[in-house]
Structure 1
């Protein structure tokens, strides 16, 4: 298993870029490789709360991969945690 935890930027389908912290890992189940994790944005917007498909996740060393939001959880009054599922090769 490979992991990454640190700063990241999520690009929404409309091109809006959102900075935050990501915690990601690879997983291998029944011969299928995949990756996913969570993203905690620095700022929360309605567009971010409603995000689903067509997103890109960028890590600090310019590695970019497509992701989809599979869940949104509230953490305190002003913070959310997005669950992500990676599409394609892991960027870490």
Structure 2
């Protein structure tokens, strides 16, 4: 069974700005590589979010935080985007 998390989260940008939303995360252990990643659907879309790539953190409930990098942003609807994330270091879930 692969550890996973799906629920509320906050993306913390390099300048400290926090963006609330929903995250869907999982670990991947393929070919001897350990890592984690997933998607984040922000409650609101900002220019800061669109320009964010490095130096980010994802905060889950109970102050669990993991470093992440944005690997892509995809438009879902006129008012929603889905941000692809790659985790850095230990998974916070």
Q: Shorter-normalised TM-score: what interval?
A: over 0.9
CA RMSD of aligned residues (A): 0.6
TM-score, normalising length from structure 1? 0.98
* Equivalent-residue separation in structure 1 for 2:31 and 2:41 (angstroms): 29
Secondary structure of the structure 2 residue equivalent to 1:47: helix
* Equivalent-residue separation in structure 2 for 1:30 and 1:40 (angstroms): 29
- Count of residues paired in the alignment: 92
Q: Name the counterpart of 2:45.
A: 44
For structure 1, which runs of at least 5 residues remain unmatched after alignment?
A: none
Deviation of 1:78 after TM superposition, in Å, equals 1.1
TM-score, normalising length from structure 2? 0.97
For structure 2, which runs of at least 5 residues remain unmatched after alignment?
A: none
